[in-house]
Amino acid sequence: MNERRMLGSDQELLDEHYEKVIAEESVCISDNLVYGKPETLTSTPMHYCPGCGHGVAHRLIAEVIDEMGIQEKTIGVAPVGCAVFAYNYFDIDMSEAAHGRASAVATGIKRVLPDRYVFSYQGDGDLAAIGTGETIHTCNRGENILIVFINNGIYGMTGGQMAPTSLVGMKTTTSPFGRDTHEMGYPLKITELIAQLPGVYYCSRVAVNTPVHVRKAKKAIYNGFKYQELNKGLSFVEIVTNCPSNWKMTPVESNKWLEENMIPFYPLGDLKVPKKEN
Amino acid sequence: MKELKLMKGNEALAEAVIRAGCDAYFGYPITPQSEVLEYLSKEAHARTGMVVLQAESEIASINMVYGAAGTGKKVMTSSSSPGISLMQEGISYIACAELPCLIVNVVRAGPGLGTIQPAQSDYFQAVKGGGHGDYKLIVLAPATIQEMVDHVKLGFELAFKWRNPIMILTDGALGQMMEKVELFPQIPRSFEIFEWATTGKRKERERSIITSLHIQPEKMEEINIHLQNKYRAIEKEEIRYEMRDCEDADIILVAFGLTARICRKAAELAKEKGIKVGIFRPITLFPYPYEVLNKLAGNTKMFLTVEMNAGQMLEDVKLAINGKADVEFLGRMGGIIPTPEEILLKLEEINQGVLQNE
């Protein structure tokens, strides 16, 4: 599939959802607008590989912060992993956490500054392997923060090792013959685990591989910040994304692989939405 | 008016935390320090509005401290030895990011799960680094419950003066015993906003970034040099110690914390036997009073270091004295507290040797 054709199929998808999405949310901007750089992003060139989803995810967060006008009141927490330098790109106050501890660091910030908007941005190794304890307990306490979880099924920064979310049979540098469940266990659907915790107010899984997915992802991020503003408790947004470099694919191939393998296992959509209040 | 109270060590320390105007405490239960978390859970929020949060682990506690300290608030945690071991990664990050905070270690005997009885076997961990990389904590070693109280106030002052983590290294006996203390009056919580802190980026300033990551080695070396310069300045300004009868002593006992007060009794007993015994007690373990100790070795030729470990501060005593006098050691391990009588026995033994040599 070449890029043009892929965009074509995305356009069809977009048409299908366009009305619904636009009707749902005013933060979605009409797509004939010429995009500028959000104020909340710095001018530092990103270190992310070509085609990586991190850049889009960063941009969406920055756009939401801009649109909500909360740049001066937002504090972000960066993880260890590919997004370790996230603080170079967001023009907001940020804290760089130890591996896996971002949600604990975010808890510390939010507890002493309850009127600020606090979010953590974490990869799958960070959030669902070394930081599982902090993740579960932060969510279970219902900390009034937003956790953005980037799931690409692999350790990017360290060079493509198996992640807790690597799919069964997926080849990585530490599962060179494919993830074997007998030896290596199963991919962890941590978002499903999180969704059932009473402290979690909002839980959604999105992607950024197509325009329509990007729009839905932005809405989910917006919801997360909005619920925080309303003091509702924890919001958890998983972004299923690609890792062209470590999946050893071109960006286009990786997006196709994502669509055909990752998304069927990690289905997109809301896992927990607030009950309608009268 | 003086406010005197009979209080348990851990509770007195917790009371001092509230009165010092602390903004947040993050902790996890572990014997023999759980009373700190319990006392704060009951008392603190209603009195000053401070945050008290029981974390899911010591790893989470120290990282909550990292996050909250990064906002410029007065924050702390406390634990006991195995819990402090778990915190070492976080402490290393805090030291590198130069965040002010207070960490209390109510030491119990190790290694491993060890026992819940008191020890001083975390001296190396507290004083020599503990976590990875070249960094230092300012380490305060109280010998009384009064000092545990006073060191909380002093600890926060030093933490903000130097933007450095401070450790109070006490032990299970001081934490659990009761003693008369004079409490300082309530200090109001400060709402000062620091330029370096993550409080939300205002238009007029650059964004604040709390990090210990500097990927360029040149930059990382620069950070290291800056830290080392700070530690040298701390060594110049913050050394604290106590001396008793050291001027014309035959033997000088060197001890910190709990063992220093046992040494007082031993020195009294020795005096009755006609042995002149002085006591040198470092109050700051980093910075360590090397020079003062070295000068004492000009007059006195025999030193006895007493510790509840296998000989950890002993290495610093030897470094300080640098061969100018003999350094003997008496240590008990595994949660055993040395008695004044066994210290006296050792003093007599040493004195005998000195007399024979003369």
- What's the pLDDT tens digit per position in A106-139? 999 999 999 999 999 999 999 999 999 999 999 9
Checking if the pLDDT of A75 tops 60, the result is: yes
Q: How far is CA B137 from CA A94, B71, B92, B126, B308, in A?
A: 24, 20, 9, 7, 21
> Is the same domain home to B232 and B247?
no
Please name the residue that has the structure tokens 């100790």: B293
Q: How far apart are the first and last CA of chain B?
A: 55
Poorest-pLDDT segment among A67-81, A263-277, B276-290: A263-277
Q: Are residues B110 and B195 in the same domain?
A: yes
Q: What is the pLDDT averaged over residues B222-228?
A: 98
pLDDT exceeds 70 at position B62: yes
Look at residues A105, A79, A103 and name the one whose alpha carbon lies nearest to residue A194. Answer: A103
Task: Identify the bridge partners of residue B4 per DSSP, sorted by sequence position.
Answer: B182
With 60 as the cut, is the pLDDT of residue A154 above it?
Answer: yes
Last residue of one domain, picked from the residues B188, B216, B237: B237
Same domain? B44 vs B147: yes
Q: Do B207 and A116 touch (CB under 8 A)?
A: no
Average pLDDT over chain B, rounded to whole? 97
A95 to chain B: which residues are within 8 Å by CB?
66-67, 70, 198, 209-211
Q: Which of A74, A87, A143 is nearest to A111 (CA)?
A: A143
Q: pLDDT tens for residues B39-51? A: 999 999 999 999 9
The average pLDDT across B144-171 equals 98
Question: In the beta sheet, which residues pair with residue B41?
Answer: none
- Where is the domain boundary, B237, B272, B290? B237
Contact A108 B69 (CB under 8 A): yes
**Average confidence (pLDDT) over A30-57:** 89
Cis amide prior to B282 (ω within 30 degrees)? no
| Angstrom distance (rounded) from CA A141 to CA A163 | 26
Residues 6 or more apart from B252 whose CB is under 8 A from it?
Answer: B246, B277, B278, B279, B280, B296, B300, B302, B303, B304
In the predicted structure, residue A1 carries a pLDDT above the cut 50: no
User: Which residue of B65, B75, B207 to mutate against A (max A Cβ within 10 Å)?
Assistant: B207
* Residue B58 predicted with pLDDT over 70: yes
- Helix ranges, B177-256 (H): 217-237
Q: pLDDT digits over B232-265, tens only?
A: 999 999 999 999 999 999 999 999 999 999 999 9
pLDDT at A278 over 60: no
Contacts across the A-B interface (CB distance below 8 Å): 123
Residue B114 pLDDT more than 90? yes
* CATH classification of the domain holding B86: 3.40.50.970
- Write the residue in B207, B210, B213 that is nearest to A84 by C-beta: B213
**Domain match, B194 and B285 both:** no
In the listed set B202, B237, B272, which residue is the last one of a domain according to the structure?
A: B237
Same domain for B251 and B212? no
**Helix spans in A82-126 (H):** 102-112, 124-125
Query: What residue spans define the domains of chain A?
Result: 41-175+182-272
Q: In which band, very low, low, confident or very high, does the pLDDT at A5 lie, cut at 50, 70 and 90?
A: very low
The answer to whether the Cβ–Cβ distance between B202 and A98 falls below 8 Å is no
Helix (H/G/I), strand (E/B), else coil: A251:
helix
Which tens digit of pLDDT belongs to each residue from B172-222?
999 999 999 999 999 999 999 999 999 999 988 999 999 999 999 999 999
Collapsed DSSP state (helix, strand, coil) of residue B7: strand
Residue B272 and residue B141 in one domain = no
Domains contained in chain B, number:
2
Does residue B189 sit in the same domain as residue B43? yes
State whether B213 and B317 are in the same domain: no
Evaluate the omega torsion of the peptide bond into residue B32 and state whether it is cis, within 30 degrees of 0: yes
Report how far residue B70's alpha carbon sits from residue A95's, in angstroms, rounded to the nearest whole number: 7
Same domain, B231 and B251: no
**Which residues on A lie below 8 Å from B69 (Cβ)?**
108
What dotted CATH number matches A41-175+182-272? 3.40.50.970
pLDDT of residue A165: 98
Within this chain, do residues B250 and B232 fall inside the same structural domain, yes or no?
no
Domain that holds residue B323: 242-357
Claim to verify: residue B230 and residue B276 sit in the same structural domain? no
Say yes or no: B322 and B193 in one domain: no
